[in-house]
Amino acid sequence: MRREMNGVTKGRFEFLARKPIQQKNIWCWRDVKKSKTKMFSNNDEAVINKKLPKELLLRIFSFLDVVTLCRCAQVSRAWNVLALDGSNWQRIDLFDFQRDIEGRVVENISKRCGGFLRKLSLRGCLGVGDNALRIFAQNCRNIEVLNLNGCTKITDTTCTSLSKFCSKLRHLDLASCTSITNLSLKALSEGCPLLEQLNISWCDQVTKDGIQALVRGCGGLKALFLKGCTQLEDEALKYIGAHCPELVTLNLQTCLQITDDGLITICRGCHKLQSLCASGCSNITDAILNALGQNCPRLRILEVARCSQLTDVGFTTLAKNCHELEKMDLEECVQITDSTLIQLSIYCPRLQVLSLSHCELITDDGIRHLGNGACAHDRLEVIELDNCPLITDASLEHLKSCHSLERIELYDCQQITRAGIKRLRTHLPNIKVHAYFAPVTPPPSVGGSRQRFCRCCIIL
């Protein structure tokens, strides 16, 4: 039985991808006008084709995704011509077909789309390897956005092909492509000077030498995702800080060797920084928060979960200088107290998402200040207070005025009660409350030796 992919069988999808674009099938509006009578015979012409100009139909088709185009191609000969017009195949996302996509499909699509294709996602397509992407790179030289996240078969050879043929590439996602090494970054540096966004998360063979080569040729980088690149040291960040003044987003999650020295260089060299993730970088201290406050006033997102050396002193400096903060992840920043919340309530009126999970020194008084702060009434959407043992129902009372609040996390807050949550819901009926209350322990059985099972065991 043929497997169907959102209404299009695998065989049909491959056939349509394989069907080449002839020059006569590459239409512009002028070409369509000239070819009206040739394209639509009397037997083939439906009401919609009579009512709508062919150039308008082509324009409509340009907004359809790949699945819908494949469906339309099966309606009639006329629609087949329009649907398979190369200009409609500028953006293709094959994530939904990831189990079925093999190298030959990518090769055929590249031959069909040619220079039209601007954006392609092969995220999770495990069957695609270097050879298919070499042919793709040769055929699709105008590609600007390419997502190869999780394509574990690809190696440095793919990046060499992209470097050779795809000089217009701007966004490249190589996350979890674990065979990628410094050679890939060197190749991209030499052949893709317009690169603005690169994701090499979990490519743990990359070292400072690869980063050095990359930034020397791609100085216009705006977003760099290095999550899980465990070999990176401060030296790599110094290269980034020296060569990437346009950097807006940097993710260093679980880059365990990073210290204050490297991140301070980033702050001093990348004044446009808006998003920084340093979660799991347990060596960093308040010096980073001071450097961010002094150099990066546009900062909107800061994620420093599990950075246990950060304190109220550093967050005070940060809050006083970074007034555009919208999202903060402070999970397991175990030294912070209500003092940090007071500063955020005063200086950060745009705060929307705040995680305080496992911040065990936070009390109701800190939440009171936050609930009365500038962000409370119209901005705050998510607050995570799970595993904050000093939080009580009083905190929920303080949050009633947060009219935009959509979600609150209260797992393992032992002093929170069902009654407190119920009162909060009366003021914020649409809020999602995530909490857990242990079931009441049943009284011990009196007499009798009959074996008993809990209800869930009976269901199972």
pLDDT along the chain (460 residues), means of 10: 48 56 39 45 60 78 76 78 74 81 91 90 95 97 97 98 98 98 99 99 98 98 98 98 98 98 98 99 98 98 99 98 98 98 97 98 98 92 98 98 96 96 96 86 54 34
The domain 344-436 is placed in CATH, from the list 3.40.50.740, 3.40.190.10, 3.80.10.10, 3.40.50.300, at: 3.80.10.10
pLDDT at residue 90, rounded to an integer: 84
> Residues 86-139: pLDDT tens digits?
677 788 888 877 777 899 999 988 988 888 899 999 999 999 999 999 999 999
The span from the first CA to the last CA of the chain, in angstroms, equals 33
Tokens describing residue 83: 């649907």
The string of DSSP letters for 96-135 reads: GGTTT-BHHHHHHHHHHHGGG--EEE-TT-TB--HHHHHH
- The residue extents of the domains of the chain are 1-88, 344-436
Q: 261: which strand partners?
A: none
pLDDT at residue 401, rounded to an integer: 92
pLDDT at residue 8, rounded to an integer: 54
pLDDT at residue 78, rounded to an integer: 78
d(CA 440, CA 433): 20
**Pick from 374, 426, 375: nearest CA to 396:** 426
Instruction: Quickly list H helices, 52-207.
Output: 54-61, 66-72, 77-83, 103-113, 130-139, 156-165, 182-191
Q: What is the identity of the amino acid at 26?
A: I
d(CA 6, CA 112): 21
Report whether 330 contacts 351 (CB < 8 A): no
pLDDT at residue 64, rounded to an integer: 80
d(CA 338, CA 343): 9
**Pick from 170, 134, 168, 173: nearest CA to 151:** 173
pLDDT at residue 46, rounded to an integer: 67
- Residue 270, sorted as left (phi over 0), alpha (psi -120 to 50) or beta, turns out to be beta
pLDDT at residue 96, rounded to an integer: 78
The predicted model scores a pTM of 0.84
Report whether 274 contacts 300 (CB < 8 A): yes
Question: Measured on CA atoms in the order 446, 449, 454, 458, is the torsion positive or negative?
Answer: negative
